[in-house]
Amino acid sequence: MTILDTVHSDLVSAMKTGEKERVGTLRMLLAELQKAAKEGSTDELAVLRRERKRRVEAERAFRDGGRPDLAEREAREAELISAYLPAELDDSQLREIVARAVAQAGASSPQQLGKVMPIAMAEVAGRADGRRVSEQVREALGASAT
């Protein structure tokens, strides 16, 4: 069963139980997944990550703008979207992946970040935010350079 099928099934269930906010979020998610499929994209996880990132950024903007009510709604939407994504890597798992990527690339200085990132991101496979991976790589290269 694809993520698209799962979201559709969950949408039907939410409609039956009258969960208005959940229905709205699932409809938006379903539309984005269908649009991506129509455009030929088969990476459903990329769509989910993009939509979650949008919600997180909107939440931050609403909090900064003094709109906690809207920020909470965006946070709930991001949490709902996250439920369809694979579990995030913890810091120790991510450090192991980064260490392997640094060794594989033969990198020893922060200037070689560009060599390490593609290797690390391929192994992470969407289970960690790119920013987290980048921070870990910078830390590993900084530590190995000293």
> Which residue range forms the structural domain that includes residue 103?
91-145
Q: What is the pLDDT of residue 127?
A: 85
Q: What is the pLDDT of residue 143?
A: 59
User: How many domains, the chain?
Assistant: 2
User: What Cα–Cα distance (Å) separates residue 36 from each residue in 10, 23, 82, 86?
Assistant: 19, 20, 18, 19
On whether both 52 and 107 belong to a single domain, the answer is no
Whole-prediction pTM:
0.73
Written as tens digits, the pLDDT of the chain (146 aa) is 899 999 999 999 999 999 999 999 999 999 999 999 999 988 898 899 899 999 999 999 999 999 999 999 999 999 999 999 988 899 999 999 999 999 999 988 888 899 999 999 999 887 888 889 999 999 998 854 44
On whether both 31 and 64 belong to a single domain, the answer is yes
On whether both 77 and 115 belong to a single domain, the answer is no
Last residue of a domain, one of 54, 82, 110: 82
On whether both 8 and 66 belong to a single domain, the answer is yes
70-105: burial string, b at 16+ Cβ within 10 Å, e else: ebebbbebbebbbebeeeebeeeebeebbeebbeeb
